[in-house]
Structure 1
Amino acid sequence: MRVVMVGGGAIGLLSARLLAAAGVEVCLLDQGAVGGESSWAGGGIVSPLYPWRYSPAVTALAHWSQDFYPQLGAQLLADTGIDPEVYVTGLYWLDQEQAAPLAWAAREQRPMRAVPVEAVYRAVPALAKGFSQALHMPDVANVRNPRLVKALRAALTQMPNVTVHEQCAVSGFIREGERICGVHTSAGEMRGDRVVVAAGAWSGELLRSLGIELPVEPVKGQMILYKCAEDFLSSIVLANGRYAIPRRDGHILIGSTLEHVGFDKTPTEEALASLKASAVGLLPALADADVVGHWAGLRPGSPKGLPFIGPVPGHAGLWLNCGHFRNGLVLAPASCQLLTDLLLANEPIIDPAPYAPEGRLG
């Protein structure tokens, strides 16, 4: 089998790696540099920000992926020498209503508990004063997403049955009868037995050329980055919808905005001021630190954050793995394994029905 993978973010890269490991020939295409869009721009928390607010279908993907991430990081380091830095720090939710989260954790058997706020201040002395209650999950990790996509790219270069075409924009699909058998690109036709659309926020635009209304749209998010001492922040902290994520080397990410402005990725002064205020509201010492990075990315927004994984009805050969909204990095390992299982007619890791495009497209 030959698969054309449209999109080289974390979803496309990991899907390509799993399919190629199973012996499939993969041609991966990206309109820019692989991993250069949402996968590079995100924060890399290996958990939904508010996991109790999501459907059981999103939760199933998240839990499988969370449990798999340490193994994935170790595999990529061994294979490529590039460490994605799957860094287990835990996560504190501050001044968060507690009944629903704790009920969710008990039902899902996840290790969340209410902790005295004094214990939080002992663990995170840089935290701003004034918080009154906290929830804690000790096993939440973050992954250094730019290094994750770099490692996945390097892993693919070692696989003889994978070709990667960057700066290769897809303009439409090759259709023979009812079957999709390839794509038209800026570098010519690329044909395959299956075409997988994993193009993130651009997936809906691509499918519109076939008359398919895929409810995936760009949702802009802006982030800022500080550089602090390595021991400045020991855990992810989240309050009022904003979070601080520590990297091992002392970089601190603050995010993020949620903006419906189409495909505009321009960082704005308004967002910079808002994110700085959130940073200082969480960690007052950041008032004296310099912002060393400020950027924007486009999330692939979808109804209820539920991705589309599986074949497109009425278009034989066309498959989707897209629409992960705010949780692409969180859900990637499970989403890509599920796609691989379905494409190769293997027993799927989880029930694929909730993610099926059938009945969810216009």
Structure 2
Amino acid sequence: MPDTLITGAGAIGLQTAYLLAQSGQQVTLLDQSATGQESSWAGGGIVSPLYPWRYSPAVTALSHWSQNFYPGLGERLLAETGIDPEVYVTGLYWLDLEDEAEALAWAAREGRALSKVPAAEVAQAVPPLGAGFSSAIHLEGVANVRNPRLLQALRARLQQMPNVQVIEHCPVTGFVRDGERVVGVRTERGEFLADQVVVAAGAWSASLLATLGLSLPVKPMKGQMILYKCAEDFLPSMVLAEGRYAIPRRDGHILIGSTLEDVGFDKVPTDEALASLKTSAEALLPALADAQVVRQWAGLRPGSPEGIPYIGPVPDFDGLWLNCGHFRNGLVLAPASCQLLVDLMLGQAPILDPTPYLPAGRMGRV
């Protein structure tokens, strides 16, 4: 019987499994589909919240820890698996912000290298940028990670570890209990037992916990994106304006995102979103008007109040732990979230004060 069973094999579940296995635990990781095919795959991979100054200190703390961790994680996974997650440091420009003064004040408090930049300087630094932007702020050192490759590398690393079992296409339908203790999960393939169970099922976490009579305020929020292919040196930096962003990959792919739609578990891309995203793309980078959209897709973010994830034990259900509800920031918050959870599970000194993330007092009953 494994020490820990994790349901959900996205960025959160994979990194939680990785850390627990490194500590010597036997880990089983279950997913309802293939590894890393939901919101972790569908996002843009910016290693920063889109507007970090608009979030609570709880999100900021996880974000700062993870941002410092990602370059080393990328190098380690490349060395261990031969798969490069492509942690690409480009910096990020925000254009024509309404709350620019608040952003600069936040940066001063947090010691972040965010600075106001003249529009002419931005035009010189980012040649394909559209005209008409009057103000900009810039944060150097911000990276993006090629999230599908990060997920592939994590999956490959877990496959190398003899104390990890990954089981795909195995939906979890409920929990196995021994009195007040959760001792496993029920699936379409039968029961899987473990000493501890971690729910890292993203937008599906709430429906799973509802089988225990628990009400978790996490719901799916649809996001659609489109992808262009340009020359490798087309876009030297990430840019963001009016809620839409452009992210360059090293090989010239440009991601444009994203929508934010409250439509339940619908993941079907729409023509309306395509038109809206193309309009945003061409306003940011007019040359994209002559480029072809390579792909359009949608994912379901695990929306939660204030975007603060649930990390820690579930009260009154011994053996049950949560690591879910990261909303738009699952990828950037994953390293810190997973390390914090593992610290709590193993009784180690936590990397951060866990209080803001604990499920206690933040959940109800169905």
TM over 0.5: yes
Instruction: Give me the whole-angstrom Cα distance separating, in 2, the residues matched to 1:295 and 1:139.
Output: 28
Distance in 2 (CA, whole Å) between partners of 1:289 and 1:99 is 35
Check if 1:309 corresponds to 2:311: yes
CA shift, 1:257, in A, is 0.2
Q: Structure 1 residue 69: deviation in Å?
A: 0.4
* Aligned twin of 1:185: 187
Report whether the alignment pairs 1:43 with 2:38. no
Deviations 1:80-120 (A, max 9, x none): 00000000000000011321001100100011000111110
1:162 aligns with 2:174: no
Unaligned runs of 5+ in 2: none
CA distance, structure 1, for counterparts of residue 313 and residue 203 of structure 2: 19
Aligned to 2:68: 67
Q: Distance in 2 between matches of 1:11 and 1:17?
A: 10
Q: Deviations over 1:255-276 (max 9, x none)?
A: 0000000000000000000000
Amino acid of the residue matched to residue 291 of structure 2? A
1:253-332 residue pairs with structure 2 within 5 A? 253-332=255-334
Alignment of 1:337-348 (within 5 A): 337-348=339-350
Partner Cα distance (2:190, 2:164) in 1: 18
Q: 1:279 aligns to what SS in structure 2?
A: helix
Q: In the alignment, which residue of structure 2 is the partner of 1:123?
A: 125
User: What SS does the corresponding residue of 1:173 show, helix, strand or coil?
Assistant: strand
Displacement of 1:187 = 1.6
Q: Give the C-alpha shift of residue 54 in structure 1.
A: 0.4
Output one character per residue of 1:284-314: Cα deviation in whole Å (capped at 9) or x when no partner.
0000000001000000000000000000000
Equivalent position SS for 1:254: strand
Task: Tell me which residue corresponds to 2:79.
Answer: 78
**Partner of 2:226 in structure 1?**
224
Give the SS at the match of 1:245: strand
1:150 deviates by: 0.2
1:307-326 CA distance string (max 9 Å, x none): 00000000000000000000
2:20 match:
19
In 2, Cα distance between the equivalents of 1:61 and 1:326? 13
Amino acid at match of 1:85: E
Gaps (5+ residues) in structure 1? Answer: none
Deviation at 1:41, TM superposition (A): 0.3
1:176 shift after superposition: 1.0
Distance 1:203 1:360 in 2: 14
- Runs of 4 or more, structure 1, over 4 Å off, are none
In 1: Cα distance, 2:196 partner to 2:100 partner: 46
What is the CA–CA distance in structure 1 between the aligned matches of 2:112 and 2:196, rounded to whole Å?
Answer: 37
Q: Deviations over 1:107-162 (max 9, x none)?
A: 00011000111110011010000101100001100000000000000000011000
Give, in whole Å, the separation in 2 of the partners of 1:87 and 1:242.
Answer: 19
Secondary structure of 1:209's counterpart equals helix
Match of 1:212 in 2: 214
- 1:236 paired to 2:244: no
Separation (CA, whole Å) in 2 of partners of 1:70 and 1:308: 25
- Residue 157 of structure 1 aligns to which amino acid in structure 2? Q
Please report the TM-score for the alignment, with normalisation by the length of structure 2: 0.98
Q: What does residue 357 of structure 2 align with?
A: 355
The separation in 2 between residues aligned to 1:186 and 1:335, in whole angstroms, is: 29
Q: For 1:306 and 1:243, how far apart are their aligned partners in 2?
A: 22
Distance across 1 between alignment mates of 2:237 and 2:207: 38
1:49-60 aligned within 5 A: 49-60=50-61
Helix, strand or coil at the partner of 1:78: helix
Across the aligned residues of Structure 1 and Structure 2, the Cα RMSD in angstroms comes to: 0.5
Tell me the number of residue pairs that the alignment of Structure 1 and Structure 2 aligns.
362
Counting only pairs closer than 5 Å after superposition, residues 241-256 of structure 1 correspond to structure 2 as 241-256=243-258
Percent identical pairs in the alignment equals: 72
Shift of the alpha carbon at 1:63? 0.1
Q: Which amino acid aligns with 2:197?
A: V
Structure 1 Cα separation of the partners of residues 319 and 197 of structure 2: 6
